[in-house]
Amino acid sequence: MPAKPARWAADSVSMLREGARLRLDHTPQSLWSVDRVIAELRREDPPYEAVAHALRGFGAYAGEVLVRELGALWEESGDSYWLRTPDGTLWDPISEARRTFEGEGSLRLLCRDATGG
């Protein structure tokens, strides 16, 4: 299992706990909060490069939710990380975090789609 996404997710959990006093518990419901944090970032209108590191961590966190919920596994392809769920479907939560920042995605909905709930 690639360790990088798990590390990025852990860093995001720590950052939000310390900086925003937000506790993430690796449940699908916690992704509502992550989507809200990304929406707040978008309202501040920073350049993507200024928030890319944080978004990568938020996407990795969403991926770790799927790891815990579904037993998904991280796969590395070049510089990209994807999740494969037990049914063989590939998911890209890190890119979904970017799309969420652009107003075109949602980590919560990605998780809902992946879990069928």
Q: How many residues does the chain have?
A: 117
Per-residue model confidence (pLDDT) at position 20:
84
Segment 16-36, tens digit of pLDDT? 999 889 999 999 999 999 999
Residue 15 pLDDT greater than 60, yes or no: yes
Rounded average pLDDT over 72-92: 95
Residue 2 CB neighbour total at 10 angstroms: 12
Alpha helix (H) residue ranges in 1-117: 3-19, 30-44, 48-70, 93-101, 107-115
pTM for the predicted model, two decimal places: 0.94
For residue 2, what are its two tokens? 């690639």
Taking all residues of the chain, what is their mean pLDDT, rounded to a whole number?
95
Residue 75 CB neighbour total at 10 angstroms: 13
- Contacts of 75-80 with CB under 8 Å at 24 or more apart are 75/2, 76/2
